[in-house]
Amino acid sequence: MPNERQGPNQVLAAVRIRPAVADDLARLVDVYNHYVADTHVTFDTRTFSVAERRAWFEAFADQGAHRLLVADKDGQCIGYASSHAFRAKPAYASSVETTVYLDPKVVGQGVGSTLYEALLQILKSEPSVHRALAGVALPNPASARLHERLGFQPVGTFREVGFKFGRYHDVRWYQRDVSSPNPSMSGAKVYDTERLVVREFCLEDGEFLLRLLNDPGFRANLGDKGVRTLDDAHDYLRKGPLASYREFEFGLWRVELRDGTLIGMCGVLKRPALQHPDVGYAFLSEYCGQGYAIEAARGSLEFATSKLNLGRIAAIVSPDNKRSIHLLQKLGMSHETMVRLPGEDSSVMLWETALPLPRHEG
């Protein structure tokens, strides 16, 4: 391979890095099959048909931790770099395994570096990813060099763990920090009350969100958000609370007991369809009926008054949700009218109050 190394050339200038699309799959299979059939750099030993490789392709997405980028030259895919699940157990979700394969006709011309660097940039801006890990079957001087120049640290070598073409191969593992300095990972405290601490959500709250949004009480009163998997929950967090923090510096926050037990969410939302921001809350069924919701909601209204300088706040509630209506009455809010939010089948009650709230006793 060293002899095939060429100097800088026109190939790189004509290369565009982009997310893979379904039409690329056949080319990606071709590129990979070359390394399966003729080299030890992958430990697959049998080439793939396009159909066999479809499930692999479909595990990638244009957002989140698992990405597939291609190097495109004149509309032809000449290589790819990918990040996929490192191991299946959930606590490994913040680590991805990365890899890169080029058409053998274009190796040694800087395409691998450009492609891999683009993948690492994306992973760095993706808050759910913390570590990139890569295994290099030895010998593979181009890949070893590529990883080292892109900031991967060698962490150790498994000796003779793969047997291909009549001999054992070692695998050297590398890892690289791809964590982003994203404040939404911090779970920063927003306010506390006598029994509760209210913090910003972070992506690590995905498991809790999954539970809360599928709690029977939540589904009955606030509807089915269609969040079924941890990936769905991360998506909900990204597009909901985390996007709201970025845009407005407020949103729905997570509510925990003083011992750290997560019990619900509460906070202030800004919906385009409503004139005023509204207070929202939802708690796991087992923590309802203990006064936590009103304690958290009062805290949100105080925050809206003192930190957000709001003079008025709304709330929306389904007319069947007697418990929540009772809470809004206790907060001192008044039923104004019925509203139908865009995309919803039925109308909800709109409640409002001026801020600050009159001082409540006890």
Contacts by 49-57 with C-beta closer than 8 Å and gap 24+?
50/25, 50/26, 53/25, 53/28, 53/29, 54/25, 57/20, 57/22, 57/25, 57/28
Dist. CA 25–CA 164, nearest whole Å: 26
CB of 68 to ligand COA, least distance (A): 15
* Angle in degrees, 0-180, between the axes of helices 206-213 and 230-237, rounded to the nearest 10: 100
Dist. CA 169–CA 188, nearest whole Å: 47
Residue 114, judged by CB atoms within 10 A of its CB (0-12, 13-18, 19+), counts as middle
Specify the residue, 69 or 136, whose C-beta has the smaller distance to ligand COA.
136
Interface residue list for ligand COA (CB under 6 A)? 1-2, 5, 35, 41, 99-102, 107-113, 136, 140-143, 145-146, 149
In three-state secondary structure terms, 310 is coil
Specify the residue, 147 or 276, whose C-beta has the smaller distance to ligand COA.
147
Q: Taking Cα atoms as reference points, which of 141, 95, 154, 142 lies closest to residue 116?
A: 142
CA angle 260, 203, 247 (to 5 degrees): 110
Identify the sign of the CA torsion 123, 127, 131, 134: negative
Residue 309, judged by CB atoms within 10 A of its CB (0-12, 13-18, 19+), counts as exposed
CB of 71 to ligand COA, least distance (A): 9
CB of 61 to ligand COA, least distance (A): 22
Specify the residue, 13 or 91, whose C-beta has the smaller distance to ligand COA.
13
Residue 48 contacts residue 39 (beta carbons within 8 Å): no
Specify the residue, 140 or 244, whose C-beta has the smaller distance to ligand COA.
140
Dist. CA 297–CA 282, nearest whole Å: 10
CB of 20 to ligand COA, least distance (A): 16
Residue 50 contacts residue 26 (beta carbons within 8 Å): yes
In three-state secondary structure terms, 130 is coil
Residue 299 contacts residue 306 (beta carbons within 8 Å): no
Specify the residue, 32 or 292, whose C-beta has the smaller distance to ligand COA.
32
CB of 126 to ligand COA, least distance (A): 21
CB of 101 to ligand COA, least distance (A): 5
CB of 107 to ligand COA, least distance (A): 4
Specify the residue, 60 or 250, whose C-beta has the smaller distance to ligand COA.
60
CB of 6 to ligand COA, least distance (A): 9
Specify the residue, 142 or 328, whose C-beta has the smaller distance to ligand COA.
142
Specify the residue, 25 or 316, whose C-beta has the smaller distance to ligand COA.
25
